[in-house]
Amino acid sequence: NVNLDKKVWNCWHCSWSGGLSDGTYSRPVVTKVWRKPDYVAKSEGPSADLVEWFSARGITPEVLRRNQIGKGIRYFPQVEEERPCLLFPYLRGTEVVNVKSRTRDKLFRMETGCERVLYGLNDVSDRLVWVEGEIDKLSVEVAGIQSCVSVPDGAPAETSKNYSNKFDFMDAPELEKAKVHVIAVDTDAPGVRLKEELVRRLGRENCLIAQWPDECKDANEVLMRHGPEVLRDCLLDAEPLPVEG
């Protein structure tokens, strides 16, 4: 509100305040405090049923163990009930900062009040592969490439108009290590939109585009249909975008 008698103004939402006569103002520095999820990886590694489910998708037990994949029961608001699910911990250093839960019929949820970061943030190096889902990131690792991240919320829907806050993960200081970005997202319409958004934010001159075989739409399908060698070749053979001038 604005008080014309006292010549001062104040925002009751963010506490930004100041004076009308001299133009002075103050804006408080707000530090976001994130909740930490309750997730402890089992030291003995993935269970037999987890190994079986992921093996059908080409993911090895070694990759599951390194990424601390687990299982549990979580509440899913989409169906208003608890369901058994896969658990993908999001790590920053040794700390779990978020966990994505996924049912086998593709219901997803992230932990509330926890930081949303890239999946695979610890693996960032100078040549970084970008994919659209956790299983795609694990598939790229099976192909022998660890430097791969997945966006936490998938691709923006075709109809979404304002999704800039969905890209807050781009502020991660870990990304400064990457000099070349290989965009290897899905080939459907949301994936194309995600590709365009990543290229715009990362810079066309810094990006290479991976091409999948005709019948495949993502990294995991390439792994399942053609094997790790072909997936690796697709990523290593990624091509630059044309740059004007």
Contacts of 235 (CB under 8 A, 6+ apart): 129, 140, 143, 145, 182, 184, 210
Supply the pLDDT for residue 26. Answer: 80
pTM recorded for the entire structure: 0.85
Q: Contact, 110 vs 152, CB < 8 A? A: yes
**Which SS3 state, helix, strand or coil, does residue 112 take?**
coil
Chain Cα centroid distance, residue 168: 10
43 pLDDT higher than 80: no
pLDDT range class, residue 113, cuts 50, 70, 90? very high
Give dist(CA 19, CA 164) in Å, integer. 32
Task: State the CB neighbour count (10 A cutoff) for residue 71.
Answer: 15
Contacts of 103 (CB under 8 A, 6+ apart): 76, 83, 84, 85, 86
**CA dist list (Å): 24 to 5, 7, 199:** 17, 11, 39
Q: By percentage, how much of the chain surpasses pLDDT 90?
A: 76
**CA dist list (Å): 186 to 97, 102, 116, 174, 213:** 26, 19, 21, 24, 12
**Of 54, 131, 59, 134, nearest to 89 (Cα)?**
134
236 pLDDT higher than 80: yes
